[in-house]
């Protein structure tokens, strides 16, 4: 048996997507940008640490390391750099450009998960990846259209739907993992 902390990665992403949705809806034009730094920083730190560990150690079987590990690294670095940029008062455009390519990656992975029938619920996971990816793809247009409330509301809604999909997936996985791993013993204790 292997160690599976995708649950932690999923719930961290849920928190990050809800935070980002709130930022897109309310904070994008707020004069107090620094209030968002701790939330983005925490989310980014957890994502970067778990994503890098998964990528470097190939912690779970099969291609899940690619789908979840590599995208979590991208998600983490985006959130950490956003936190840093907001703390310093820097523009977010270059981060949004990076988010565009990370978003395309998530969309491709989502479509491929559906195509290959990966995960226990491939359609739900695939749609979750696609919607999350759309958040990255449309980051730059959202910065450009930050005075357009309808656009920002639509963007926030897409992020909330993605977060709800990952929340359902993550909390269900926690429920199942507690049973599946209840008798697992680490190698040094065997």
By C-alpha distance, which of 161, 187, 190 is closest to 2? Answer: 187
In a domain, 189, yes or no: no
For residue 20, pLDDT beyond 90? yes
Residue 145, number of CB atoms within 10 A of its CB: 15
* Mean per-residue pLDDT over the chain, rounded: 95
For residue 18, pLDDT beyond 70? yes
Output the pLDDT for position 133: 98
Output the pLDDT for position 6: 95
Kindly report the pTM of this predicted structure.
Answer: 0.95
Q: What is the CATH number of the domain that holds 14?
A: 1.25.40.600
What phi, psi does 182 have (nearest 5°)?
-60, -25
Q: Which two tokens stand for residue 85?
A: 């940029």
The 10s digit of each residue's pLDDT in 37-64 is: 999 999 999 999 999 999 999 988 889 9
In a domain, 190, yes or no: no
- The Cα 113–Cα 183 span in angstroms is 30
Q: Which two tokens stand for residue 136?
A: 């990255």
In a domain, 56, yes or no: yes
DSSP conformation class of 92:
S
In a domain, 188, yes or no: no
Number of domains forming the structure of the chain: 1
Its domain, for residue 92, covers: 6-181
In a domain, 146, yes or no: yes
Residue partners of 30: CB distance under 8 A and separation at least 6:
none
The 10s digit of each residue's pLDDT in 80-108 is: 999 999 999 999 999 999 999 999 999 99
Give me the torsion for CA of 19, 22, 26, 27, rounded to 10°: 10
For residue 116, pLDDT beyond 60? yes
Instruction: Classify burial at 184, counting beta carbons within 10 Å of its beta carbon; exposed 0-12, middle 13-18, buried 19 or more.
Output: exposed
Q: Which two tokens stand for residue 187?
A: 């190698």
- The Cα 58–Cα 60 span in angstroms is 6
């Amino acid at each position: 048996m292997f160690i599976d902390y995708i649950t932690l990665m999923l719930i961290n992403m849920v928190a990050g997507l809800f935070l980002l949705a709130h930022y897109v809806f309310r904070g994008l034009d707020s004069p107090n940008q620094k209030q968002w730094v701790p939330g983005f920083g925490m989310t980014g730190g957890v994502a970067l640490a778990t994503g890098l560990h998964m990528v470097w150690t190939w912690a779970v079987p099969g291609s899940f390391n690619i789908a979840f590990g590599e995208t979590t690294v991208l998600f983490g670095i985006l959130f950490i750099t956003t936190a840093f940029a907001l703390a310093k008062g820097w523009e977010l455009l270059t981060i949004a450009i990076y988010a565009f390519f990370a978003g395309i990656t998530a969309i491709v992975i989502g479509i491929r998960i559906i195509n290959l029938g990966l995960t226990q619920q491939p359609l739900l996971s695939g749609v979750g990846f696609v919607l999350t990816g759309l958040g990255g793809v449309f980051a730059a247009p959202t910065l450009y259209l930050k005075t357009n409330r309808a656009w920002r509301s639509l963007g926030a809604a897409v992020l909330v739907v993605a977060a709800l999909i990952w929340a359902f997936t993550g909390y269900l996985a926690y429920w199942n993992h507690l049973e599946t791993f209840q008798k697992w013993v680490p190698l040094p204790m065997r």
